[in-house]
Amino acid sequence: MKQLVRLAWRSIWRNRRRTLLTVGSMAAALALAVYFLAIAEGMYGRLLYQVLRMQAGHLTVENAQHLDAPSIDLRLSGVPTLRARLQDLPDVAITKELIVGPGVANSGDGAVGVAIAGVEPSVEASLSPLIHRLVAGSYLEDGDERAVIVGAELSRRLDLEVGNKLVLSSNDVDGQLVQQMVRIKGIFKTGSLDLDGHYVQIPIGFARTLFSMRPDEATQIGLLLHDPDQLSTVQRQVAGMIASNQRVAVWPWQKIMPELSSFMKVDKGSNYVLQVIILLMAMFTIFNTILMSALERKREFAVMLALGTSPTRVKLQLLVESVILGVLGCGLGVLLGSGMALATDGISLESIMGGGFDVAGFLVDPLLLAKLTPRITVGLGGAMVVIVALMSLVPMGRISRINVTDAFR
C-alpha cells in the first residue's frame, strides 16, 4: 500500500504544472463555497439570536387563540407557577414573561399607533439587543414604574426627548378605554422603521396596571434554549406539561415569526443553488484534467502493463492519484475558505449599506459574520474528495482497453 501511495505521489509531481493547476482550481472553488456558506451561517445565526432575544425566544407559551387573532384579553393566568415548571426543564436556559398589546402614544404634537411591550427589565437587559442601540437616556430597571423606552422615529414624530412625558392610551382586557402617563427613560435607534417608529417598552408591572391584568397574568412566556437543536424535544415536553389546559398552546419561533423563517429559507436556498453551481464548474474542470492526464499517459500505462503490472494495480494507482489530488485541493480550499471567513469575521458593512435593512420588520445587522461548522468544512471538503475519486472511474475504465502494442506506435 505504502508503495502505491509513494508511486502515486511521485507520478503526480512529475507533471507539476498540471497538478498545480488542478489543485489550484479545486482549492479556489472550494474556498469560495466554504466562505459563502460560513458567512450565511454566521449571519442567520446572528439574526436569529437577536430576534429571539427581543421576541419571546425559541418557544412561546401563550393563549391558544392569540396566534390567529391577537387581542389583549387573550392571556395566560397562573403564570408564576407555569414559569417555574418551565424553568426546571433541563434544556431551558432562560424564561421571560411578556405582555404585548396595541395602543396609541399621545403628546401635545400628535398621536401615533404603537405596539406596547411590557417586559421584565433585568431579564431584558441581559438579552435584548435594544440595550446596545440606545442613543439617549438609559434602559428600564426593575422598580421603574412609569418609564418607557421609545424609538428615535417615534420621538421625532411626537417631538419628545428623554424626560418628556407621553400618554399611552389603549383598551384593557375588559374593553375599557385606559390612559396612563409615562416618561421617556431612553430612546433607541435600530434602523428598522417599524421598531423605531412604533415599538415601545414599559416595565411589565406597569403594563399590568395599564391593561388591568392581575399579578399572575401575562400574554406570553418565552423560552430560550441552551441548544436550539433541542427545540422539538423541548416543545414536546412543554406540550405535555400544558396538555390538560385547552386554552394554552406552545409554539416554535417559526410559527410566531413565519416571515423570518421564510427569509432564512430563501437566503439558504439561493445560497445553496449558487454554491452548487460553483462546485459544478470546478468539477467539470477537474474531470477534464483527470481525463486529459489519463489520455496523455496512455504510453506510460502501456509500458507499465507491458512490464507486467496488473491492470488492477494501474487502476488503483490512478485512483490513489486522484484521491491525493482531491485531498490536496479540498484541504487547501477548506483552509483558504476558513481563513477568509475568520479574517472577515466582524467586519462592518455599514459604510456600504447605511443602516441595516428590514426583513419582515426585523433588522439585519450590516455586519459580516462567519460561522464555520463541521458540516461546512469537513462535510463539503469530504464530499468533494469522494466526488473526485469517483471521477477517476472513467479513465480507470479506459485502462482495461489499452492495446499495449498500439500504444507504442
Partner 1 sequence: MATLRILLLTLLACLLLPASALAKDKLTAREILDKVDDTYRGRSARGQMRMKVVNPNYKRELVMDFWSHGKEKSLVRIVEPKKERRTATLKNGNNIWNYLPKVNRTIKIPSSMMGGSWMGSDFTNDDLVKEHRMADDYAPKITFDGSRGGQKVIEITCTPKPNAPVVWGKLVVTVRAQDYLPVRIDYHKERGGLARRLTFSNYEQLGGRLVPTTMTMIPRDKPGHSTVVTYEKLTFDVSLPANLFTVASLRSGR
Partner 2 sequence: MNVLRIAWRNLWRNGPRTAITGAAVALNTAVLIVTIGLTQGMLETTVKSLTQMSLGEAQVHAPKYREERRFHNTIQNPEAILRAAEEHGIGATARSYGAGLASVGAKSSGALFWGVDPARERAVFDLAGQVQQGSYLSEKPPPPNADGDVVREVVLGHKLANALQAQVGSELIAVVQAADGSIGNDLFLVKGILKTVSSDVDRSAAILSQRDFAELFVSRGLTHEIALQSGGRLESTAIVDAVRESAGQNEVLTWQELAPSTAQMLEMFGALMAIFGLIFGLAAGTGVMNSMLMSTFDRMREFGVLKALGATPWRIVRDVAGEALVLGLFFGALGALLGGLANYYLSVHGINLGTGDDLLLAGVAFDPFWKSTMSAEAIVGSLLLMGVVCVLSALYPAFKAARLDPVVAMTEP
Which residues are near partner 1 by CB under 8 A? Answer: 102-104, 106-111, 113, 146, 159-161, 164-167, 169-171, 175-181
* Residue number with CB closer to partner 1 (102 or 355): 102
* Residue number with CB closer to partner 1 (113 or 258): 113
Q: Which among partner 2, partner 1, none contacts residue 178 (Cβ within 5 to 8 A by kind)?
A: partner 1
Q: Which among partner 1, partner 2, none contacts residue 103 (Cβ within 5 to 8 A by kind)?
A: partner 1
d(CA 153, CA 143): 27
> Which residues are at the interface with partner 2 (CB under 8 A)?
14-15, 17-18, 21-22, 25, 28-29, 32, 68-70, 113, 193-194, 258-259, 262-263, 265-266, 269-270, 273-274, 277-278, 280-282, 284-285, 288-289, 291-293, 295-296, 352-354, 357-361
Query: What is the distance, to the nearest Å, from the Cα of residue 26 to the centroid of all Cα atoms in its chain?
Result: 27
Q: How far is the CB of 362 from partner 1 (least distance, A)?
A: 24
* Residue number with CB closer to partner 2 (26 or 242): 26
CA distances in angstroms from 161 to 153, 165, 191, 194, listed in the order given = 11, 9, 18, 19
* Residue number with CB closer to partner 1 (158 or 286): 158
Q: How far is the CB of 176 from partner 1 (least distance, A)?
A: 7
Q: How far is the CB of 347 from partner 2 (least distance, A)?
A: 15
Q: How far is the CB of 156 from partner 2 (least distance, A)?
A: 13
Q: How far is the CB of 404 from partner 2 (least distance, A)?
A: 18
Q: How far is the CB of 249 from partner 2 (least distance, A)?
A: 17
* Residue number with CB closer to partner 1 (123 or 182): 182
φ and ψ at residue 66, rounded to 5 degrees: -65, -35
Q: Are 384 and 30 in contact (CB under 8 A)?
A: yes
Query: What is the distance, to the nearest Å, from the Cα of residue 245 to the centroid of all Cα atoms in its chain?
Result: 34
Task: Single out the residue of 59, 149, 41, 50 nearest to residue 373, CA to CA.
Answer: 41
* Residue number with CB closer to partner 2 (26 or 82): 26
* Residue number with CB closer to partner 1 (35 or 199): 199
Q: Which among partner 1, partner 2, none contacts residue 107 (Cβ within 5 to 8 A by kind)?
A: partner 1
Q: Which among partner 2, partner 1, none contacts residue 167 (Cβ within 5 to 8 A by kind)?
A: partner 1
CA distances in angstroms from 165 to 152, 205, 211, listed in the order given = 15, 19, 19
Residue 105 CB partners (closer than 8 Å, separation 6+): 111, 112, 114, 150, 154, 158, 166, 167, 168, 200
Q: Which among partner 2, partner 1, none contacts residue 111 (Cβ within 5 to 8 A by kind)?
A: partner 1
Q: Which among partner 1, partner 2, none contacts residue 146 (Cβ within 5 to 8 A by kind)?
A: partner 1
* Residue number with CB closer to partner 2 (265 or 375): 265
* Residue number with CB closer to partner 1 (141 or 174): 174
Q: How far is the CB of 288 from partner 2 (least distance, A)?
A: 4
Q: How far is the CB of 79 from partner 1 (least distance, A)?
A: 25
Q: How far is the CB of 102 from partner 2 (least distance, A)?
A: 9
